[in-house]
Amino acid sequence: MEVPRVDPERIEYLIENGYEPLLFDALMKGFRLTMKHKWAFLGFFMIYLLISLALAGIPLLGQLIATFVVQPFFMAGLIWAYYLIWAGKWREFGNFFDLLRFDVWQRFVGVYVLSTLIFLLVYSPSLFALQKAGIIDWYFSYLEDPFGTEPLDLSVLASGSFVVVWLNLIPIIYLAVGYSFAYYHALFVPEYGIWQCLEKSRQLVTRRWFDFFGYYLAYLVIALVAGLLLTLLAVATSEIMLVSTLVLIVMLVVLFWIGMSVYAGLLVAFAELTGLGREPEQGTADEEVSSEDLV
């Protein structure tokens, strides 16, 4: 099985001429993709979580590996799995690890590292403002002595220094939404370098930026409503410890599935815009879900 390729000229055409993203349709298809193999995704996440927790025990080096190697690999496996399900080629749990054979996940590491550096650079005015407002010093004092540290004076949130933090959210949110397709470029557009994966995503998404922003807001609202309902149920059953605990576990699992569906919906939107996997191989369609079922 080969990693499919999207023609960069198709991306350029979409950037120049615009498009209709149909993101809310993709949102529902994303949920369907996740729920078709929901336990496999949960299992994959548990592997990622256990590895990250194990690495957390190694000071600095372990945390760096977990952040800049394990997490990008998790993203690569996730997006690849969603493509296989969408194209009707999913076969087994081991498909999550297919990209180890294709040497593609290293591009995810590059995109992740570069995007992190960009966000740190863009966020640097806020870091200086937080330092000037004394919030960073307070934070480290709280980490050293949570019970002996005085509560943060909330009036600082309205101070002149903190205005910089609020204003700095504008470019941060813009880039966070703009880089929505960066990982999909890293996987499916091999002609793009690491910087191009990010920049072409920003250019492509900017054509319909508010549609993508609304897409993320819709998921946020769904997650908040689901979390609120399950929290109320947990509170209502708090006298029965076992039931309350089970409700909380269900809440975490449901919120996880919702979070994963964000990437599934983006995969569907990217595939439908670019023609990725438009013609699945004859006879390989997944009986549970095929690209025809999802269109």
| pLDDT tens profile 163-205 | 888 889 999 999 999 999 999 999 999 899 999 999 999 999 9
Determine, yes or no, domain membership for 283: no
Q: What angle do CA 99, 103, 104 make, to 5 degrees?
A: 70
What CA dihedral angle connects 213, 219, 220 and 224, to 10 degrees? 160
Q: Residue 254 pLDDT more than 70?
A: yes
**At what angle are helices 209-236 and 23-36 packed, to 10 degrees?**
50
Query: pTM score, two decimals?
Result: 0.82
Task: Give the domain range for residue 98.
Answer: 8-277
Q: For the segment 62-85, what is each residue's pLDDT rounded down to a tens digit? A: 888 888 888 888 888 999 999 999
Residue type at 104 in one-letter notation: V
Determine, yes or no, domain membership for 292: no
Average pLDDT of the residues in 271-287: 60
Determine, yes or no, domain membership for 39: yes
Determine, yes or no, domain membership for 81: yes
Q: For the segment 84-96, what is each residue's pLDDT rounded down to a tens digit? A: 999 888 989 989 9
Nearest CA-CA partner of 270 in 3, 9, 11: 11
**Alpha helices by DSSP H, the chain:** 8-17, 23-36, 38-56, 61-65, 71-86, 99-102, 105-132, 135-144, 160-178, 182-188, 194-206, 209-236, 241-274, 291-294
Nearest CA-CA partner of 67 in 81, 78, 56, 76: 56
Q: How many domains does the chain have?
A: 1
- Three-state DSSP at 154 gives helix
In 10 A of CB 181, how many CB atoms? 26
Q: For residues 188 and 62, what is the distance between their CA atoms, to the nearest angstrom?
A: 30
Name the burial class of residue 266, with classes exposed (0-12), middle (13-18) and buried (19+) by CB atoms within 10 angstroms of its CB: buried
Per cent of the chain over pLDDT 90 is 37
Q: What angle do CA 218, 268, 292 make, to 5 degrees?
A: 125
Q: What angle do CA 74, 78, 56 make, to 5 degrees?
A: 20
What CA dihedral angle connects 78, 80, 84 and 90, to 10 degrees? -60
Q: Which residue has the tokens 């009707």?
A: 88
51 neighbors 70 (Cβ within 8 angstroms): yes
Nearest CA-CA partner of 24 in 286, 262, 291: 262
Determine, yes or no, domain membership for 34: yes
What is the average pLDDT score of the chain? 84
145 neighbors 172 (Cβ within 8 angstroms): no
Q: Which of 25-34, 43-52, 150-159, 266-275 has the lowest mean pLDDT?
A: 150-159
pLDDT at 281: 40
Determine, yes or no, domain membership for 286: no
pLDDT at 278: 61
Determine, yes or no, domain membership for 77: yes
Q: Residue 2 pLDDT more than 90?
A: no
Determine, yes or no, domain membership for 91: yes
Q: What angle do CA 280, 182, 205 make, to 5 degrees?
A: 95
277 falls in which pLDDT band (50, 70, 90)?
A: low
